[in-house]
Chain A
Amino acid sequence: MIAASSQVLSFPILSALVVLPLLGSIIVALLGKSRPEWVKLGALISSVTTGALSLWLLAAFKSGEAGFQFVSQHLWISQWGISWHLGVDGISLFLVVLTGILFPLVIVGIDPHHNETSYFAWMLLLQAGVMGSFLALDLFLFFVMFEIVLVPMYFLIGGWGYDQRVYAATKFFLYTMAGSAFMLVGIIATVALAQRDLGVITFDVVKIAEGASFSTNAARWLFISFAIAFAVKVPLFPFHTWLPDAHTQAPTGGSVILAGVLLKMGTYGFLRFGVYLFPQAAMWARPVLFTLAVIGIIYGAIAATMQRDLKRLVAYSSVAHLGFIVLGTFALSSQAVTGAVIQMVNHGVSTGALFLLVGMIYERRHTREIAELRGIQHVAPIFAGVFTVVMLSSVGLPGLNGFVGEFLILIGSFESARWWTIVATVGVVLAALYLLWAYQRVFHGEPDEANSSFKELNAKEGLLMAVFVAIILFTGIYPKPMLERIEPSVNSFIEHVEGRTK
């Protein structure tokens, strides 16, 4: 069994964040047969409790501290030096909170229409996996969580998606699994090489990053093996082709989670594992990653402009936004990385909200074709208003959350990646172009017959969107509490990188 560590803590909050949804998933699956009417309630209780715990974590998190907090470490597989090792710092904190909040919203807000039991069970299992990925400080544990996420997501896309769902789900599974195949070899090689410096076999990422030194050549290969996995997950151009399919075919809930938190596992992985473990190799690979990121920004924007399907448009806009995050991550200045971390959360909020809205449009009109929609602003002004706020947040309008992250990224990257940053700035303009153009086509004009009966937001939908709008506004107007918590960790991270690359 898992041996108790010497560390005595009052309440293992991080473990609870992972275990609670897992338990919820099992309970929901068991309830399905005997008490189908309690299934949704069970899923709700489990996810809301997890969300509340994550908020409590946010409140209890000591701002101004750089290191990992609430660390819990228990030996798991002693022979291989593997432990159940969780911890949270400024870089992961808001992603954990986002995961905590987004899941209950999706569970409350979106009705799966059929097979409720398995839908909610997979959803909760997914939450456990995502939480674990953001909290794991053990390479093996991280890999387990990173990989296990594929299973529920596969079933969610395949079981509740649209026409091409099986194709999209399989593509998603295989692409991501292929990426992580390289990472598994990389992880094992990292541990084997680190063993020579550390004297013990351990998968502890902090110990390896602080204590081990890899030869230049080895570090580059190892970095590449990690980078492939994360590049597929993010996804970076040219590994992005699974994303538009997965997004378009996934049910709304799946899309929200996919865009909101799943993709962040890639960008977060780059920071926490790729750069942290192999700073020199990351420096060496920078030009390539900058280039891919910028190609992604421009390509994503152009592709988004050309889409006829509203959901596909949002999916391509994700490719562009994640390009910004990767640019900021590898600029490796304090501002840029802080911006990247903030932008991870922001993108989760605004793109998640966009997918929700597109989902609502589909529910009402049973189409996502931009050409089929017209003049919705006239019949559903509140809906249009919410859409405007969310869209402008995605564009990066000052005063809304998207601006904070994008601005920091661009400023922070200008020094180390000047020309790339200049090109990336064009992407900001393009984002305004494709989103506003889409807005214009969908919401402006006179509604035709089919669109004139477009229903306004109902109370539940309104409350749901209110949460998103509140986060968007709060972060945009008063980002200080967020920055206070993120910056110390980022600064010490940058110090680590600079210390290693001098």
Chain B
Amino acid sequence: MNDLSAFAGPSIEWLSISPLLALLAGALILLLVGSLTNEWPKHWYSLTAVATSVAAIALSVVLWRDVSNDGAKLLIGGSLTLDHFALLGSIAICSAVLLVSLITSDYLSRDGSDAPEIYALYLTAAIGAVVMISSNDLVVLFLGLETLSLSLYLLAASNRQESASQEAGLKYFILGGFASAFFLYGVALTYGVTGTTRLIDLNTALTSYISVPRNDVILLIGIGMILVGFAFKVSLAPFQMWTPDVYQGAPTPVTAFMASVGKVAALVALMRVFVVAFPSRSDDWGVVVLVLSAATLVVGSVVAIVQTNIKRMLAYSSISHAGFILVGLEAASHRDSVNAGDGLVAVGVYVALYAALVVGTFGVVTVVARNSSSEANSLDAFKGLAKNQPILGLVMTVFLLAQAGMPLTSGFVAKFGVIQSAVAVGSYQLAVIAMVCAVIAAFVYLRIMVSMWLSDSATTEKVSVPMLSRFAIGLAVAFTLLIGFLPSLILDLTSNLAELATK
């Protein structure tokens, strides 16, 4: 029946996947041209990556307008989607690539180890991430996930002089492999029950009671395993163990990359899979998400308190942010409520704002801590920072306050949206848990601020902030404050985020 000669490939909408193509071109240029030519002048590798991401952002913006005019649609025979949700994720990812590349260049130039590979890996990781968030098929999603993860393993281990970096890479690789296996097994079981891996077809199959019974055990195990796979990638408690070690061991710019691009991709994909494919079983996974979210919030904020290494603190803080984002997914699981779509919008806004915020925060850590050894990254490195360098101290303070969710920063807008979506569907308990955990987490940010403002530094030596890092951190802080004062800017864009591509 399946005669290969009769196989006709699906038509490919080249324009609609142009951001992906741009990223691919950039990665190839860096890898091929970079390896065939002599060393490029300072910062050129990074600027190529920057140019690539700017191009990808520009193309995404053009596509955004198309979607606004013509509506969302499916691409390449229904394997990819083109909608605002995916595009917002792409823009966030490419912006993170842009900022991280700038910071990386200064970081590597400091000891003269700037090379094209790391930027090429950023771009391939971004390709994987963009595929992940716009996939409409579990297998395509898996391809994206692996592309992203493999790049991240390499990136984590990219500092060959540092054994901690090697260890981080290996640890990440092994645990990431586990997660992928869980995910893949979940996909297989789901396929076994429904006969499809397309998200939309999954929903169609699952809503017909004749083909799949309401409480099909195999299906529920499948969904559960997919969720576990994601939980590893997003580092939800109790699957978060690897995060602090990997975040600490990896070179700091790479940590910024993992915390932004890795998180955004996994969370957006997680949202899409559960909202598009499994809404009919939301009663079952909604409870699990609620428990995961609460556990993640509590673990992320409480365990952060006892850390003394700034990268570990921020690793736990990123865990608690993931818990916050999951509050939005929980809200989206209340399908009977008219406000269930709010959860999706809130998550979209959250990840977009969080990406800039976390890159900015780690950007400051990168310039202050100089290298990724654990002494350089202890909280002591920040002692008296604000006294020596008020502007750098102030910028870091803005980031920390934003992470704590203080008003007039983007962090508050993000948190507000998520809490609003939870309250709108009546998940008051989770909203309260999330807010209380935000207070606990605030203690951690206060500790860093105390170090910066209220302790005396051991040295009066000033930290130099190189040009490109300065630019990247400046962009991030400007964005954080701008959205904090005028949230309408992003809310206008995201008003129809909940209209996902379905045909």
A residues adjacent to B (C-beta < 8 A): 1, 32, 76-80, 118, 143-144, 147-148, 150-151, 154-155, 158-159, 165-166, 170, 173-174, 177-178, 181-182, 184-185, 188-189, 192, 221
- A159 and B438 form a contact (CB under 8 A): no
- Cα of A182 to Cα of B491 in the assembled complex, Å: 24
- A79 and B407 form a contact (CB under 8 A): no
- A1 and B446 form a contact (CB under 8 A): no
Nearest CB in chain A: distance from B437 CB, A: 9
Residue of B nearest to A189 (CB): B423
- A147 and B428 form a contact (CB under 8 A): no
- If A177-B439, A182-B432 touch, whether A148 touches B454 (CB-CB below 8 Å) is no
Q: Is B436 an interface residue (CB 8 A)?
A: yes
- Cα of A159 to Cα of B455 in the assembled complex, Å: 9
* In the complex, chain A residues whose CB is within 8 Å of the CB of B495: 79
- A151 and B406 form a contact (CB under 8 A): yes
Beyond known contacts A143-B407, A185-B435, A192-B423: 9 more, CB 8 A cutoff: A147-B407, A148-B407, A159-B453, A170-B450, A174-B446, A178-B436, A181-B439, A184-B435, A185-B419
Scan residues 122-176 of chain B and give those whose CB is less than 8 A from a CB of chain A: none
- B442 and A177 form a contact (CB under 8 A): yes
Partner among B406, B419, B443, B454 whose Cβ is within 8 Å of the Cβ of A147: B406
* In the complex, chain A residues whose CB is within 8 Å of the CB of B446: 154, 170, 173-174
Residue of B nearest to A76 (CB): B488
Nearest CB in chain B: distance from A18 CB, A: 13
* In the complex, chain A residues whose CB is within 8 Å of the CB of B439: 174, 177-178, 181
Scan residues 323-345 of chain B and give those whose CB is less than 8 A from a CB of chain A: none
* In the complex, chain A residues whose CB is within 8 Å of the CB of B423: 185, 188-189, 192
Q: Is B420 an interface residue (CB 8 A)?
A: yes
- B401 and A151 form a contact (CB under 8 A): yes
- B442 and A192 form a contact (CB under 8 A): no
- B432 and A170 form a contact (CB under 8 A): no
- If A147-B406, A173-B442, A177-B442 touch, whether A79 touches B491 (CB-CB below 8 Å) is yes
- B443 and A188 form a contact (CB under 8 A): no
Nearest CB in chain A: distance from B453 CB, A: 6
* In the complex, chain A residues whose CB is within 8 Å of the CB of B438: 181
* In the complex, chain B residues whose CB is within 8 Å of the CB of A173: 442, 446
- B431 and A185 form a contact (CB under 8 A): yes
- B454 and A159 form a contact (CB under 8 A): yes
- A148 and B406 form a contact (CB under 8 A): yes
- A185 and B487 form a contact (CB under 8 A): no
Q: Is B424 an interface residue (CB 8 A)?
A: yes
The A interface, classified by DSSP as helix, strand, loop or mixed, is: helix
Residue of B nearest to A3 (CB): B488
- B491 and A188 form a contact (CB under 8 A): no
- B408 and A144 form a contact (CB under 8 A): yes
8 A-B residue pairs with CB within 8 Å: A78-B488, A118-B390, A148-B407, A150-B406, A154-B446, A184-B416, A185-B423, A188-B423
Q: Is B111 an interface residue (CB 8 A)?
A: no
- A77 and B491 form a contact (CB under 8 A): yes
- The proximity string for B residues 425-449 relative to A, scoring 1 for CB distances below 8 Å and 0 otherwise, is 0001001100110110011001000
- Cα of A178 to Cα of B407 in the assembled complex, Å: 15
Q: Is B70 an interface residue (CB 8 A)?
A: no
- Cα of A235 to Cα of B293 in the assembled complex, Å: 32
Partner among A154, A155, A181, A185 whose Cβ is within 8 Å of the Cβ of B428: A185
- Cα of A80 to Cα of B416 in the assembled complex, Å: 11
- If A166-B450, A188-B420 touch, whether A174 touches B435 (CB-CB below 8 Å) is no
- A158 and B486 form a contact (CB under 8 A): no
* In the complex, chain A residues whose CB is within 8 Å of the CB of B428: 185, 189, 221
- A181 and B487 form a contact (CB under 8 A): no
* In the complex, chain A residues whose CB is within 8 Å of the CB of B454: 158-159, 165-166
Nearest CB in chain B: distance from A453 CB, A: 33
Nearest CB in chain A: distance from B337 CB, A: 11
Residue of A nearest to B447 (CB): A170
- If A144-B408, A185-B435 touch, whether A77 touches B488 (CB-CB below 8 Å) is yes
- Cα of A246 to Cα of B320 in the assembled complex, Å: 29
* In the complex, chain B residues whose CB is within 8 Å of the CB of A144: 407-408, 412
- Cα of A246 to Cα of B98 in the assembled complex, Å: 44
Nearest CB in chain B: distance from A388 CB, A: 38
- Cα of A184 to Cα of B436 in the assembled complex, Å: 11
Residue of A nearest to B494 (CB): A79
- The proximity string for B residues 485-497 relative to A, scoring 1 for CB distances below 8 Å and 0 otherwise, is 0111001100100
- Cα of A178 to Cα of B453 in the assembled complex, Å: 23
* In the complex, chain B residues whose CB is within 8 Å of the CB of A150: 406
- Cα of A1 to Cα of B492 in the assembled complex, Å: 12
- Cα of A209 to Cα of B435 in the assembled complex, Å: 25
- Cα of A32 to Cα of B442 in the assembled complex, Å: 29
- A158 and B453 form a contact (CB under 8 A): yes
7 tightest A-B CB contacts, nearest first? A181-B435, A144-B407, A79-B491, A188-B423, A178-B439, A185-B431, A189-B423
* In the complex, chain A residues whose CB is within 8 Å of the CB of B486: 1
Residue of A nearest to B491 (CB): A79
- The proximity string for B residues 265-304 relative to A, scoring 1 for CB distances below 8 Å and 0 otherwise, is 0000000000000000000000000000000000000000
- If A144-B408, A158-B450, A188-B420 touch, whether A181 touches B491 (CB-CB below 8 Å) is no
- The proximity string for B residues 475-501 relative to A, scoring 1 for CB distances below 8 Å and 0 otherwise, is 000000000001110011001000000
Nearest CB in chain A: distance from B329 CB, A: 18
- B450 and A174 form a contact (CB under 8 A): no
Residue of A nearest to B407 (CB): A144
Partner among B390, B412, B424, B488 whose Cβ is within 8 Å of the Cβ of A79: B488
* In the complex, chain B residues whose CB is within 8 Å of the CB of A118: 390
Nearest CB in chain B: distance from A122 CB, A: 11
- Cα of A460 to Cα of B436 in the assembled complex, Å: 46
